[in-house]
Amino acid sequence: MSGVSRRWCDMITEMDSPPRHLPDIPFPPYTYVPGRTPHPISDPSGHMYGEEPQPVELDVENWQTCTTYLRGIDLFNHGYYWEAHESWEALWHAAGRQGPIADFLKGLIKLAAAGVKSLEGNQAGRDRHARRAAELFKAAGNSKADATTLMGLSLQVLIESAARIAKTSLDPSPIDAVVHLNVLLEPDR
């Protein structure tokens, strides 16, 4: 990823494209940005129009086999923030929307929402969602004894990344959506 500041090197690889966890599942034809692209679900030309959400089973201990979770990571890392949000929201519902795992998933959802706001050029919205993501990651860690990682992701890196997003000025110049948040989610396997 050329043009990325070295200060982000702990989160972004030097590759042109982040690695994929599910390379056989194609990306949508576009990432949804409100006001710029068709709404994926409600617009007849949307890339998810007519699709019904499928029930998702969540096995936190075997997250490496959870297609919905890994799909969300792939989507997020490639700048499909709204679509990542949708994947993780299904898991959040499966987690019962309460408790440390639900807080963790809601943190990912808020981080993805920060990405959408960033693509919209809405700094206040991006910062608000990023701060909330950091709070949720902290809550998830505090609720789960000795939790330094959840579902392969370092809570401390997530907290620091979200806080950094909220403190960084939004670059108004058009840049690659993948580096728009300067965060790459890389779960430990």
pLDDT of 5 > 50? The answer is no
Indicate the pTM of the whole model.
0.86
Structure token pair of residue 24: 């056989």
Three-state secondary structure readout of 95-134: CCCCCHHHHHHHHHHHHHHHHHHHHHCCHHHHHHHHHHHH
**Domain range list for the chain:** 63-179
Q: What is the mean pLDDT of residues 173-187?
A: 67
Three-state secondary structure readout of 77-102: HCCCHHHHHHHHHHHHHHCCCCCHHH
Per CATH, the number for 63-179 is 1.10.3450.10
* Tens digits of residue pLDDT in 6-34: 233 333 334 467 889 999 999 999 999 99
pLDDT of 89 > 60? The answer is yes
